[in-house]
Amino acid sequence: TEDLSVPNTTDSTSQLAQREERREHLKTAIEYCEFLVECKELGTFQQNERARLLCTNIRSRIEQLTQEIREELIREDSTANQSNDNGNTSLEAQRNKDQRIISRADSVLARE
């Protein structure tokens, strides 16, 4: 078994890569959802069962990814409060990106 209490830079790099990948997945889903919403607003969206199912799946994916990012931010807040390590600019940049994508996700979910 691996000792998880020892910090590992490889794990940290892997976590940052996973975080970036999650944001990219969310960005793609948001862009597609925005497209569908705009088509719907313009009246060019064909309402059929398959299209509705696709929209539902995309919305669910956006909600899931947004929740994962929010939970990650909460965990980081908890860890930062315990260690008083607020000076990491790289982490702060990641948090800002996360906050922006969450705002965009909330906006697109509210439109539909």
Please give the structure tokens belonging to residue 66.
């947004």
pLDDT score at 52: 79
SS3 call for 40 = helix
pTM, full prediction: 0.72
Residue 5: what pLDDT?
46
Residue 30 C-beta-side C-alpha neighbours within 13 Å: 21
Work out whether the CA dihedral 83, 88, 94, 95 comes out positive or negative: positive
Q: Quick: pLDDT tens for 54-80.
A: 888 999 999 999 999 999 999 888 887
- Work out the average pLDDT over 11-22: 84
Identify whether the C-beta of residue 59 lies closer than 8 Å to the C-beta of residue 33.
yes
Predicted pLDDT at 25: 92
Helix (H, G, I), strand (E, B) or coil at 45: coil
